[in-house]
Chain A
Amino acid sequence: MAIPFKYSFKNFKSRNLTTIITIVGVALVVFVFAAVLMMAYGVQKTLKETGSVDNVLIARKSANSEISSIVSGDVQGVIRTLPNIAKRSDGSAIISNEPVVIINLDRQEGGISNITVRGVSETIKDLRPQVKLTEGRWFNFGTRELIVGRSINERFKGAQIGDKVKFAGDFWEVVGTFEADGSGFESEFWGDGLQLLNAFNRGNSVSTVTLKLESAESFDSFLNAFNEDRRLQQFEAKVEQAYYEEQSTFLVQFITALGVFITVIFSVGATIGAMITMYTAVANRTVEIGTLRSLGFRRRNILIAFLFESLTLSILGGLVGVFLASFLQFFSISTINFNSFSELEFSFALTPDIVVSSLIFAAVMGVLGGFLPSVRAARLKIVDSLRAV
């Protein structure tokens, strides 16, 4: 049987300032690590929640964002003829032909950013019922009015009700604000699609077409019909949720890569901290190690006891780091999404996976930092260590 775990744990507890500093060091690194993953996941989650599973978004195959996609009027007509499209009680198909443009606006804290303006069709409330007016009123179709998403309303100048936003040579009055379950739509302006086409002289070529299916299950049958139509060859139909989730890939990869790179560098420091702490522990307890060995405990038992101690230290640091990081869930930040080149607000989001990864990361620091000191402890000669009074 091995040296009781209590030995490792109590030794770890009975220690001093170096131990606390080491725990704080590990906690900080894990905090940053968890924060980065929470940020990346927050972006992904926000965009994923933007789309619905029973909506289909059609864009040009070659386009990797909505603004670079073009769907001409005759293609819009073809799409209308496809099966499985949901209809309102008045018989009109729930389809929104959406021109998407980007405008510049000043942030409240200074600096300019890109904002998406989305033109929508009249069936929009049936297409995206999650979008809810919070103040003011909806824009009127046929006028140059806009409603503004919560995030833009809070963070940008000239995005309040009554303000006039200038673009495409005209002034567009903000008449209402809306929320959309914290999704990416909250980082957009919405107005009448036809007015937008008109103002930008685009004829009737919109960016994307989004339609509601009779049910999420009818997607396959819709897609078959879509793919069979040769006139739609240059276009691609995706479940709206999947489409927007894909719009997170660049930003998620960028945040993850940069974040992991930074935290790995930080973690070298924390690992060395753990190593110093454990070397000190071994030095202070040399006689104890000799005693345990003379009682009949083996080198392996000593190695494990000290590794456990280092692990306890780092896991505790990890728990502290994750605990602190969990408070980030109350914060949201706004930045340019590289896929759409426009502003996106998102919240830090914690998942069980992130908790587990962070603790594994902490444990790795503990094992790496504790390994050499533990090996030293295990390799001591009994007679020498007993003499080290």
Chain B
Amino acid sequence: MPPLIQIQDVSKSYMRDSFEVPVLNNINLDIEEGEFMALMGPSGSGKTTLLNLIAGIDKPSSGKIKVSDTDISQLSETALAKWRANNIGFVFQFYNLIPVLTAYENVELPLLLTPLSKKERKKQAETALEIVGLADRMKHYPKQLSGGQEQRAAIARAIVTDPLVIIGDEPTGDLDKNSAEEILTLMERLNKEFKKTLLIVTHDPHAAERANITKHIDKGDLV
């Protein structure tokens, strides 16, 4: 079986003023289905940029990104939005929950982009909240939750559509040690028990240990 994610000769540069700033240079990387990969590297090395390309919220300057046979670098913006809704689960460093919506409503949000009925959405959102252990906090607003709980709600939001890949940019970066531990255990469980493919960026070697495989990136090159 071919790898789930194939990154082929991907380069990315940004324009700053009138200078072209290279951020990623000819990256080649395969991620197998069911893998839990950690990406490490110093600040500014291009980790977030690479993650954004794989998640389809940014486009490479050159090269191809294939996710289960779809070349996402070729998709139109609208098609890409739809693709993200179906295939990617996002976990952010600062959780990025919508403050005016309850935990339940936040988790239900990505399902609004699917053809599911209200009843089906309810069932799925509740299942996701149960998996992350927040079934008793569904009606709480983000500011009524602790950091760890917020991140668990965010993980529930990321898994609720049953995406191909879960992507996390420093998902434990803003948490205390215990909460970080909880989140890592949860991710491990998603990987082992639910066979999810996970890709996270982290600065914490202890967190990287929990992954099956760690890749290092430096100044835009995989090393």
Contacts and interface: CB of A to CB of B under 8 A. Distances in A.
Given A296-B82, A296-B84, A383-B57, A291 B110 contact: no
Contacts of B99: 14, 288
Please indicate which of the listed interface residues A1, A7, A296, A382 has the most CB atoms of chain B within 10 Å of its own CB: A296
Contact of B98 (A1, A7, A293, A298): A7
A149 to B, nearest CB: 59
A158 to B, nearest CB: 66
Please indicate which of the listed interface residues B52, B90, B98 has the most CB atoms of chain A within 10 Å of its own CB: B98
B100 A11 contact: yes
A383 B58 contact: yes
B78 A298 contact: yes
Interface in A269-297: 287-288, 290-297
B57 A294 contact: yes
B150 interface: no
A296 B100 contact: no
B55 interface: yes
Interface residues on B, range: 20 to 34
A386 B93 CA distance: 11
A386 B86 CA distance: 20
A291 B52 contact: no
Q: Is the interface of B mostly helix, strand, loop or mixed?
A: helix
Contact of A293 (B57, B86, B109, B112): B57
A380 to B, nearest CB: 12
Please indicate which of the listed interface residues B77, B100, B113 has the most CB atoms of chain A within 10 Å of its own CB: B100
B92 interface: yes
Given A294-B90, A295-B84, A4 B98 contact: no
Interface string A289-312: 011111111110000000000000
B210 to A, nearest CB: 24
A295 B57 contact: no
Nearest to A10: B100
Contact of B113 (A14, A290, A297): A297
Contacts of B112: 1-4
A17 interface: no
B97 to A, nearest CB: 8
B85 interface: yes
A382 B57 contact: yes
Please indicate which of the listed interface residues B85, B92, B96 has the most CB atoms of chain A within 10 Å of its own CB: B96
B107 to A, nearest CB: 11
Q: Is the interface of A mostly helix, strand, loop or mixed?
A: helix
Nearest to A4: B112
B70 to A, nearest CB: 15
B98 A296 contact: no
B213 interface: no
B101 A295 contact: no
B96 A287 contact: yes
B105 interface: yes
Contacts of B96: 287-288, 290-291, 386
A287 B95 CA distance: 11
Nearest to A1: B112
B122 to A, nearest CB: 14
A6 B101 contact: yes
Please indicate which of the listed interface residues A2, A292, A297 has the most CB atoms of chain B within 10 Å of its own CB: A297
Contact of A389 (B94, B98, B100, B113): B94
A296 B85 contact: yes
A4 B109 CA distance: 8
A14 B101 CA distance: 11
Contacts of B21: none
B81 interface: yes
Interface string B70-90: 000000011001101110101
Contacts of A1: 112-113
Contacts of A13: 100
Nearest to A8: B100
Interface string A171-214: 00000000000000000000000000000000000000000000
A295 B52 contact: no
B105 to A, nearest CB: 7
Nearest to A9: B100
Interface string A228-256: 00000000000000000000000000000
Contacts of A382: 52, 57-58
Interface in A1-38: 1-4, 6-7, 10-11, 13-14
The 7 closest A-B pairs by CB, nearest first: A296-B85, A10-B100, A291-B96, A382-B57, A1-B112, A296-B84, A296-B113
16 contacts: A1-B113, A2-B112, A7-B100, A11-B100, A13-B100, A290-B96, A291-B98, A293-B81, A295-B85, A296-B81, A296-B84, A296-B110, A297-B113, A382-B57, A382-B58, A386-B57
Interface of A: 1-4, 6-7, 10-11, 13-14, 287-288, 290-299, 382-383, 386, 389
Given A6-B100, A292-B109, A382-B57, 20 more contacts: A1-B112, A1-B113, A2-B112, A3-B112, A4-B112, A7-B101, A10-B100, A10-B101, A14-B100, A291-B90, A293-B57, A294-B57, A295-B84, A296-B81, A296-B113, A297-B113, A383-B52, A383-B58, A386-B92, A386-B96
